[in-house]
Each structure stands twice: as C-alpha cells, then as structure tokens.
Structure 1
Amino acid sequence: MKTAKTLALALTLVAASTAFAAGSMDGHPMQGTDNKPAAPSKQASQPVPAEIKKIDASTGKVTLRHGPIENLGMSAMTMAFPVKDRAALKNFKEGDPVSVTFDKVDGKPTVIDMQPR
C-alpha cells in the first residue's frame, strides 16, 4: 500500500512539473531570441520567355503563353496578366516573342517588365 502511495505521489509530481514547464513560457519570449516569424524567402524575379497572344490596352492586360514563372511558383501556361506600365503595351503586337519579368502587385501576378526577344 505504501509503495502505491509513493508511486502515485511521484507520478503526480512529474505530471505537475511537466505541465508547469510547458505553460511557464506562454506569452513570454525566450531570452536571446526575437520571436519574430521568419520572413518568407523571396526568389529573385527572372525574365521568362513568352509569346503575346492578346493585348487589351483598355484594361491594361496582356495574355501570354509563358514558360514557368519560378518566383511565383507558376508552371507554363497561357494566362492574362495586368501590366504595371500600360503605356508599354503600344510597343508590342499579338504574336511577338517577348521576355517578361513577373512579380506580385497587390497580391496579383503582374507583368513588371516586358522586352522584345
């Protein structure tokens, strides 16, 4: 009987100390750390080969058949994108091969730069 009481007391102490240790740091940063979340790694924008399929100057969008866009995690496809500099669209026509740099603007994939290939 004495052994059972001793074992129960020991288990209670272990459980209590474990619970205390787990909860003791809640809301308190650890010394020597800044506790800030790691910034997402941003891959540098690289020019992507593409072909202009359609230009819509009124909406400032261009439809491109493009290769993989690594910095946005997009595979090759055909898609319409807003263009950061709408005025630059006048320098291109449908069917032109181009080299395009993309990035997110206001959370949307956007053409940042487009050059003839």
Structure 2
Amino acid sequence: MNSLQIAEYYFQLSNDSNFDEITKLFCQSSTYRSGKGELFLGVSDIMSMQRRYHGLFAKLEWQVNSVTETKPGIVHFNFNFVGETHTGERVEYSGLEDVVVYGGKIQHIQVQRL
C-alpha cells in the first residue's frame, strides 16, 4: 500500500474500532498529537489512548470530507466526527488530521479540532 492508501485504511479501521489492525500500522517510534494537544509516544501509548477514546462512545464515525497527499508521505484529511455516548449524548466536531507515513508505517498523526 502507498501512503495515501495506508492513511485511508487507518480511517476505515478507526470507524470499525479495529484495534488489532490499527496497531499493525504504527511502530515503536510513532507519535500522535490529539486534538486536545496531548502527545503520545509509541504504539502502546497510542493504542491505549485510542481504546479509552473509543470506549467513551456507543457509536462513532469519522466522515472524511476531503483527503490529499500534500507531500510524499504526508496525507491531510478534513473530517467531521459524530459520536453517541453510552448515555445517548450526541458529540460532533470537525477537524483536520495529518498522517505521516514512512517505510509503510504511520510515523506521526496530528489532529486539530476546528
């Protein structure tokens, strides 16, 4: 898979909360900056954060509005998030996400909420 395909696959897996397959896309030196500014280092730290976040919701979906590879290995997404908590509260926000792919693995993700 090329960088664009890996990044798009990551979004698909995230919508399915498929943590086993998401884990395979990262490496020990991967980093992730959340939309709240939190920084996570390494696949274990990243996946722990993702499991906690997904666990807040009974249903969730990232809807991709646009995706472009701005430079080789750097994929930029414009997205909307829609989720429903376990108590029925609806959570919605929009954001930008950059996924940096190198050597077939996600090296870095940076999320910016709008």
TM-score of the superposition, structure 1-length normalised?
0.27
Q: Per residue, is there more strand in 1 or in 2? A: 2
Structure number with the bigger relative contact order (C-alpha 8 A, sep ≥ 6) is 2
Q: Which has the larger radius of gyration?
A: 1
